[in-house]
Amino acid sequence: MDRIRIVGGRPLNGRIPISGAKNAALPLMIASLLTDRTLTLENLPRLADVNQLMRILGNQGVDTSIDGKRKGEHEVAGQTAHLNARVIVDTTAPYELVSRMRASFWVLAPLLARMGEAKVSLPGGCAIGTRPVDFLLMAMEKLGASIDIDAGYVVAKAPKGLQGGEIDFPKVTVGGTHVALMAATLANGSTLITNAAREPEVVDLAECLSKMGARIKGAGTSEIEIEGVARLSGASHSVMPDRIETGTYAMAVAMTGGDVLLEGARGDLLQAALDDLVKTGAEVTQEEAGLRIRKNGGPIQPVDVTTQPYPGFPTDLQAQFMGLMTRADGVSRIRETIFENRFMHVQELARLGAHIHLEGDTAIVTGTQKLKGAPVMATDLRASVSLVIAALAAQGETVVSRVYHLDRGFEHLEKKLGACGAEVERLSAAE
Ligand code: UD1
């Protein structure tokens, strides 16, 4: 297994291209199951999760072709994929595949909407809390599906097709909103989703579905109305920039100091996190080419944050912000309200010399100037990148193992940081 070696202490200066958003790419790819026509997705990130989902969709009958690289194209430029689900060959998504990536459970909705049946494995355990799917199943039931659980599988049926209905989520759920939205596009009649997730990725999905002929109003607010249509057509859509990757590199610059242009990034997609970053002492400006982050010398101010559904501070940036706070000039409190058990990075950050104390859903971080490199282990996607942020400012060498967690969601991390002056390299398994 690959590892990443980082020697801390260098500022970051230069440009980092921001990739297409993983969390938008996955539901967009899944939406290809809704139509027998070709869905073309541009700016798809080159990530392990994207490749894995292509394999899962292939099992259902989706043919995918990826355009070759154009001459002179940047190494990290997004790829263009054409997904075609002309014939659905299998409405079952097996455990071996779904257990590797939670989001693949969402194939339930388009399979049910288009084929009237789906059998999808329950995703099983996950490193960040229990993460149930009860709201997703409730949403399908509200659209007239019958749901049974059999030997670890969700068996969903709607032999006469789905019917429009009212779906009121008891808690904001991104996945729940994605599946409700996809299923309702092909349901008979109109659907109202209340307490819908307002995340930009939901808006991106709704925009793509609208290009495919869906009739959707209100995406991006907590009330979404969908008027079902008989069929959807093909479309072409460009995946939005990754706001989590943007926030991650912004925090890295706030940590090391320097001046970096995050190319193609949109600050409006993560305003809450950027406001907090400014309070830590970084300078953030939106320019035409992207988002510019500057930090000169001075101390990192401690700032308290609480994770919230969009437009609040995103849970997917919590670990990275904690990484930054480990070096702040004082004490900060970081409260996680979305997921239980999303503090696995705390123990690993402690190996780098961080002072963090957990009290229920809150981490109390006492900043120190004495972070020191050490061997650490990646535990999940966001947790592992918080170790990278801390390592960039630690004295000496850090080696992060289990890098496959990083590869799930960060494209060419070592190249992007290395190009800005960080001392970082990938050690391949053999080394
Ligand atoms: C998505 C993101 C993930 C992000 C999360 C919250 C993708 C691929 N993943 O995950 O990166 O951290 O949103 O912004 O886009 N819940 C239930 N029952 C359900 C569904 C959810 O209790 O049926 C709970 C969850 O346990 C959690 C909360 O609702 O406490 C929010 O989860 P949700 O928004 O659904 O997360 P995901 O869509 O899985």
Residue range 365-388: average pLDDT? 91
Q: How far is 66 from 70, CA to CA, in rounded Å?
A: 12
Question: In this predicted structure, what is the pLDDT of residue 123?
Answer: 85
Model confidence over 72-110: pLDDT tens digits?
666 667 899 999 999 999 999 999 988 888 899 999 999
Q: How confident is the model at residue 71 (pLDDT cuts 50, 70, 90)?
A: low
pLDDT of residue 402: 86
CB 87 within 8 A of CB 62: no
Answer whether 340's CB lies under 8 Å from 373's CB.
no
Q: Is the CB of 82 under 6 A from ligand 1?
A: no
Query: According to the model, what pLDDT value does residue 69 have?
Result: 72
DSSP string, 3-14: EEEEE----EEE
Has residue 128 got a pLDDT over 80? no
- Cα distances from 374 to residues 7, 40, 371, in angstroms, run 10, 44, 9
Which ligand 1 atom minimizes the distance to the CA of 310? 14
Distance CA 355, CA 367 (A): 7
Atom number, ligand 1, closest to the C-alpha of residue 133: 23
- Distance from the CA of 192 to the center of ligand 1, in angstroms? 20
The arithmetic mean of pLDDT across residues 228-252, rounded, is 98
Question: Ligand 1: which residue has its CA nearest to atom 5?
Answer: 174
Q: What is the rounded CA–CA span in Å between residue 408 and residue 280?
A: 29
pLDDT of residue 431: 59
Ligand 1 pocket test, pick from 26, 104, 108, 173 with the greatest ligand atom count within 8 Å of Cβ, gives 173
Cα 175 to ligand 1 centroid, rounded to whole Å: 6
Q: Is 420 a catalytic residue?
A: no
Per-residue pLDDT band at 430 (split at 50, 70, 90): low
Q: Which of 131, 315, 317 to mutate to test the pocket of ligand 1 (most atoms within 8 A of CB)?
A: 131
Q: Which letter does DSSP use for residue 241 in this model? A: B
| pLDDT (0 to 100) of residue 77 | 75
User: Counting atoms of ligand 1 from 1, which one is nearest the CA of 129?
Assistant: 26
pLDDT band at 380 (very low <50, low <70, confident <90, very high): confident
Range from 67-71, 144-148, 172-176, 328-332 carrying the lowest mean pLDDT: 67-71
Residues 270-303 have pLDDT tens digits of: 999 999 999 999 999 999 999 999 999 799 999 9
Residue nearest to atom 13 of ligand 1 (CA): 174
CA–CA gap between residue 66 and residue 296 (Å, rounded)? 42
- Of 113, 212, 225, residue with least CA distance to 163: 113
Q: Contact at 8 Å (CB) between 372 and 394?
A: yes
pLDDT at position 129 is 55
| DSSP single-letter state for residue 370 | -
Single out the catalytic residue among 7, 77, 115, 126.
126
Q: How far is the CA of 174 from the centre of ligand 1 (A)?
A: 6
Res. 127: pLDDT tops 60: no
Name the average pLDDT for the chain: 94
pLDDT at 110: 98
Amino acid, res. 300: I
Among the ranges given (7-21, 65-79, 155-169, 207-221), the one the predictor scored with the smallest mean pLDDT? 65-79
Say what the pTM is.
Answer: 0.96
Quote the percentage of the chain above a pLDDT of 90: 86
**pLDDT at residue 68, as a whole number:** 77
Tens digits of residue pLDDT in 408-428: 889 999 999 999 999 999 998
Residue 297's pLDDT is what? 79
